[in-house]
Amino acid sequence: MKTIFHMFVFLPLFVSMGMTAQTALTLEDCRRMALQNDPYVKNAGLDIYAAQAQKKEVVSEYFPKVSLNSFGFLALNPVLEIGVKDILGENDFSNNVQMLVSEAASAYGFSPVFSTMKSGFSASVSAMQPVFTGGRIVAGNKLAALGVETAQIQRDMMIRETGEKVENGYWQVVSLEEKLRTLEKMGEFVDTLHNDVKVAVDAGLAVDTDLMQVIMKGNELRSGIVRLCGSIRLAKMNLFNSIGQNYSLLPALADSLCPFIDDIVLADRLDTLKPPQHYYVPEEEILVSLEEIRLLEARIRAESLTKRMTLGEALPQIGVGGSYGYTHAINGRLNGAVFATLQIPLSDWGRVSRKMQRQDFVIQKAVNEKDYLSAQLLLQIRQLWLDLNVAWEQLQIAEEGVSLAAKTMETFKDRFDAGLIPVVELLQAQVSFMETSESYFNAKVAYSTALTAYCGRK
């Protein structure tokens, strides 16, 4: 019976137009191509690069800030004008000195008032090294490193989701191809039966209605094959578009880089499926490894670091620096200086304390969401395990059913050959076998899908 079953269900598919050069794709090939071509996976990788660049950007806050400064001015009037009375004040002595200076200025041609800084410029190089910024630089670098980790977790989620989508699309095509194989083998069976019934009609051992029923069943099978071929191509198009595989719908336009869609075959089959116990992992281990949980934990850490940076706004800021340059305002000269800065916020404590209190609420919200989602994900893991076991039981029932249908069909064929039953009963047995064969492979696909969903959470 197993020999009959495998003959009808698992024989390779041959294209009616003859053997052509084919491109074989395994499930692993499709996963690899999807990771290379899926735009969302690509963008997730770019997010990691962006987060790494931001991390390097924040590291620069540890180092001195060096700048080149220049300044120039031109005033309508001198900025500084000093006369005798500006120095000696308003008194008799200053009046006498002012009189003498004015007479001498008239005699010798100079101004009695000293004026300067009508124009000038300066250029310098300065460096400022932060010593303590309230811990904001350290917290900012930790936050940037956490951004890289978060981007990597999101990329892992995208890879998992893409892999599940590709695998489901792959087995959908394989499932339709298995149905086509069954229909083709049933078509061969009906063709043989047509010849036998025709001989029987010609010999007067059967009636014309028997032959007509066989012809009608053959037409029904051929119509189903045509519809199924269209469904297979549509499913292939959906799969190939998701993985970036080029294809042509016209054989005349196909080439090695863009093969005809029917010449691209899926090589993997659901031959060996192990029971659920083989894949079991304790649910607590699955839960802590889930990307969703890791993202929520990262969010809690990020909010805590944000609170730490908020605290730094109210702490003293200390920095040291130095500058060296050239100044030309009164007399041009080079000069240098070192300096230190200390900034102690006095009026920000109220604002910062309220901001930190608000941040505490945000942290608590993140903790609450993590606790709730952990419970929901644990429930989902348990449900996936139950679904996997149910799918396995259904697969066992379907396998038993297809074996019984194959045995029944063989029995009915022997009875028909012996003239004990009419052709309609044999055709009904053939339909029953075809339906159970389809149900069996659908059960295999359902188990594989449930297995992918469960193992994807591991």
* Comparison of pLDDT for 323 and 81, the residue scoring more: 323
Residue range 254-288, pLDDT digits in tens: 888 899 999 999 998 887 789 999 999 998 889 98
Q: Kindly tell me if the per-residue pLDDT of 7 is higher than 70.
A: no
pLDDT at 205: 67
Task: Decide: 31 and 163 in contact? Cβ < 8 Å.
Answer: yes
Q: Kindly tell me if the per-residue pLDDT of 248 is higher than 80.
A: yes
pLDDT at 128: 92
d(CA 266, CA 177) in angstroms, rounded, equals 9
Query: Which domains can be identified in the chain, with CATH numbers?
Result: 2-79+117-455 (1.20.1600.10)
Task: Decide: 317 and 342 in contact? Cβ < 8 Å.
Answer: yes
* Comparison of pLDDT for 364 and 424, the residue scoring more: 364
Q: Which of 3-12, 357-366, 425-434 has the highest mean pLDDT?
A: 357-366
Place of tokens 């009608």: 216
Q: Kindly tell me if the per-residue pLDDT of 3 is higher than 70.
A: no
* Comparison of pLDDT for 87 and 18, the residue scoring more: 87
pLDDT at 21: 66
Task: Decide: 295 and 154 in contact? Cβ < 8 Å.
Answer: yes
Task: Decide: 2 and 408 in contact? Cβ < 8 Å.
Answer: no
Residue range 124-153, pLDDT digits in tens: 999 999 998 888 899 999 999 999 999 999
Burial class (CB in 10 A: 0-12, 13-18, 19+), 288: exposed
pLDDT at 457: 66
**In this structure, how many other beta carbons lie within 10 angstroms of the beta carbon of residue 125?**
13
* Comparison of pLDDT for 201 and 49, the residue scoring more: 49
pLDDT at 377: 93
pLDDT at 46: 94
pLDDT at 100: 83
Quick one: average pLDDT of 151-166? 93
Go through the chain and tell me how many residues it has: 458
Task: Decide: 304 and 361 in contact? Cβ < 8 Å.
Answer: no
Residue range 343-362, pLDDT digits in tens: 888 888 888 899 999 999 99
Q: Kindly tell me if the per-residue pLDDT of 404 is higher than 80.
A: yes
Q: Kindly tell me if the per-residue pLDDT of 365 is higher than 90.
A: yes
Residue range 43-98, pLDDT digits in tens: 999 999 999 999 999 998 889 999 999 988 888 888 788 887 778 888 878 888 88
Confidence of residue 2 (pLDDT cuts 50, 70, 90): very low
